[in-house]
Structure 1
Amino acid sequence: MQITSIKPTNNPSILKFEFDEIIVRSENFEFKNIDETQPSPLAKQLFFLPFVKTVYISGNFIAIEKFSIVEWEDVQSDVAEQIEDFIKNGGEILKIEENKPKKMPITVYAETTPNPAVLKFACNKLLTKTPVEFKNIDETAASPLAKELFKFPFVKEVFIDENYVSITKFAVTEWDEITLELRTFIKGFIENGRTVIDESAIVKTDNHQKQQESYFENLDVTSQQIINIIEEYVKPAVQSDGGNIVFDSFDPTEKRVKVILQGACSGCPSSTFTLKNGIENMLKDMLKDQDIKVEAING
């Protein structure tokens, strides 16, 4: 195993040492001090360097946060050499746990979406019955997977629905630099049987309530027809692009339909325009009402 590249991160104190092989597939590890390094002999060794503040291990890389007493340009080559020498001499990066549960065979593949900032990671397993969007790590109480994904510095938002995870990235990183890392992590997380979403812990927002049967039954006939059209003709196409669409409201006076866009569709000008006009034309045609207008709201 060799270090193939050394890369800066958004935090100038943190440097990534990337390997030609995957180190860990199922978890992220973070060590704040030498007392926490029992699972990682390599991390323990690194803490003997006086400038090492934190060690992260995930996917195919080891990231190190330094104290300000040194500059990375002065020590990064020596650190890389020490890491490689440690491994060559038989040192363990992570200790292999005995009697781990058997992995479930999982396939995860990445798909592009109409939104260049969003990539869809589709899985051959049902992940959730309730679509959930996470704007930040503080909202992830119901999703251990989303919480772990937000620990990647380039992850901006996470949307999970049925059998896929849509990830929105910050603009500072390109997809070709991080796709393999994210796909590998998601695959390992699911294979090891970890919880993607705890349905019982989902906060029932207005959007969730509007997807319940009891809410549907109390709507007027036109609103029910609109929902049925969206569910049958619109939602499958939106989900295939890594997004979701939810009926919000219908104003019979203004003939205005409001829909909420989530996942890859949220914040994407092209998909918002396409969806708005596509849905609008479809509703005008199927409801025989040329005055209907559609307003798309980002989730």
Structure 2
Amino acid sequence: MAILLSLKDTDLVPWIEALNNELGSVDLCLYPKVEDNSLIDYAIVWKHPYGDLKNYPNLKAILSYGAGVDHIVDDPDYPRSVPIVRLYDEKLSQDMCLYTLHWVLHFHSDYYQYNNLQTQKNWNQKPFKLPEKCHIGVMGLGVIGKDIADTLISFDFKVSGWGATKKPDMELLTYYYGETQIHDFLSSIDILINVLPLTTTTSNLLSENTLRLLPKGSFIINIGRGGIVNEADLIMLLDEGHLMGAALDVFATEPLPKNNPLWSHPKVYITPHIAGQNNPQSAAMAIAKNIRRLENGEEPFPLYNPEKGY
């Protein structure tokens, strides 16, 4: 078995060690040092050069280094007949849950106000707020979105979910779906968390019209994709006071340009796409498990669905 490993801007040493530990005696080819393209069975990639994946005639699957696959499917020449496997790693999901919980507490418990109070040397204790009095909306109830919702529910927050399509009933939260139900979903949300993938359906979904459906004084956390939130509309609603704050980990253009007004906005908290960073050991374990599934004729998980766009 031969595996192509191509991870841009990534230290490959821990990945090589982790993959060798998980898969044993495999031929690990580090891009671009590939002697015979026809021998490559699997490609583990992150931001691989466009136009190259079509050059491996016996490729059985493309395995993404991350949960998102836009870095693969945005390549106009990627081989459509080859399945793409997204990464679901429990440690990655746990990190996204902790990231989200951090910002939920930051907004819910008024921690965001204490920075200004500190500069004023103002000892001003904000009243305690019960978690169950805070209504959190999670957009995107896939595996990671569901993990985030379950984490928040375990701390007694009231949680509702929204997705593009109908899902089976969920015991612990109210689930809304489709364009017709987005008004009912957003109208009572205190903190909105976006975990949606970027598709033709979700692109620019959170623009002025939809963001205004949120109650005045609400907050937004975006860990899905930047192209889902209209940044200009977000700034306008923050300036108006309709929205009180935004924690953003993903952006329409990354890295975020230095002249982007989000950098200096007093109500915006920026992190450089670090929610759910990969751990080579746990991620290699998840990828190796999917390769074994494929070798045994089983379906990998989670498998990218081109029709749904995720």
TM-score category of the 2 structures, normalised to the smaller one = under 0.3
TM-score by length of 1: 0.28
Q: Which has the larger radius of gyration?
A: 1
TM-score by length of 2: 0.27
